[in-house]
Amino acid sequence: MKRTVTKLADGRELIYFDEQDDAVRDAPDRRELPPPPPASQLRYDPLLDEWVAVAVHRQTRTFLPPADQCPLCPSTADRLSEIPAASYDVAVFENRFPALSQRIADEPAAVTPFTEIRPGLGRCEVVCFTDDHHAAFASLPPGRVRTVVDALADRTAALSALPGVEQVFCFENRGVEIGVTLHHPHGQVYAYPFVTPRTRKMLAAARRHHDRTGGNLYADVLAAERAAGDRVVAANEHWTAYVPAAARWPFEVHVAPHRPAPDLPALGDAERDAFGPLYLDLLRRFDALFDLPMPYIAAWHQAPVRIDRELGHLHLQLFSIRRAADKLKYLAGSESGMDVFINDIAPERAADLLRAG
């Protein structure tokens, strides 16, 4: 894989990941762009001990443009996009409308004695999986999935080294039902200046388990699921895909490496190669459930940059809000108000349906 770093017209970084070593990436960005926006605000919620990002510039971000105006397609003589090249394999660039960035304008003051405000230090990147606007991740060849995994590992390592970054999150949103604003196949990477609330909960549970048993909680849960087998959807030598016994979403699968690893950079070549075929099979099973494209979120859970790395266990959480061909799972009163999920489909039934797909 060849890695080429360049700059867009407004100074944002663009990185090409090419599968051919002789690829030449010298096309300049010929657009006239305003400077990138300053970092957002982070406001502390003392009632939940959590940070909330306030990024008002994102209100004007691009929203569902037609295919001939897609900013993620390659540039042409008649239309300039975020990707100056005429074609590409995988491209990663700094988000033009970031929730977090390194561009700190000032230090805001607290709005109350209980609500600290600080700059939204971090970074947000867009990961374009292919230059084909009409493709989907499920239609990529296994070799391209390996390139994507290598690119995400590269970005995880690079963003983990930035000042103030505490956690790196790689993810893909697919489908307007999920809230996608660009149809082109792409994912994102967020570098947070704190450990996220979900990860803090997982680490706290893992720490209690380790103190009690000496084991790694996720590794022990994975071993138990593999031994039970009734919720396992697919597996190979290095990975297992299973529906969690307490799945929150109608269709939710964890894809986990058998060897505990804290993050994507820690995966070996054999593990990276083995991920693609299994994951592509799983995505196709999702689409086959109702014979239509399944909206989903694919979220890589990685250990924090500095703390509790020994408690983490890399895994991908794939889930959909679709519970039937004509029904979606909405986060209503119990879920949104109290964080208590109510699942309409038994995890064992979901596993059966996915295995049959």
User: Which residues carry out catalysis?
Assistant: 186
DSSP 275-321: HHHHHHHHHHHHHHHTTSPPPEEEEEE---SSS-GGG---EEEEEES
The beta strand positions in the chain, using DSSP E, are: 2-7, 13-18, 41-45, 50-54, 90-94, 117-119, 123-128, 167-174, 186-192, 232-235, 239-242, 251-257, 296-301, 315-320, 322-324, 327-328
User: What CA–CA distance (Å, rounded) separates 40 from 206?
Assistant: 32
User: What CA–CA distance (Å, rounded) separates 234 from 282?
Assistant: 8
Beta bridge partners of 128: 91, 186
Cβ-contact 83, 75 below 8 angstroms: yes
60: three-class secondary structure by DSSP: helix
Residue 159's Cβ-count burial label (10 Å; 0-12, 13-18, 19+) is buried
DSSP 181-228: S--SSEEEEEEESS--HHHHHHHHHHHHHHHHHSS-HHHHHHHHHHHH
User: What CA–CA distance (Å, rounded) separates 324 from 308?
Assistant: 39
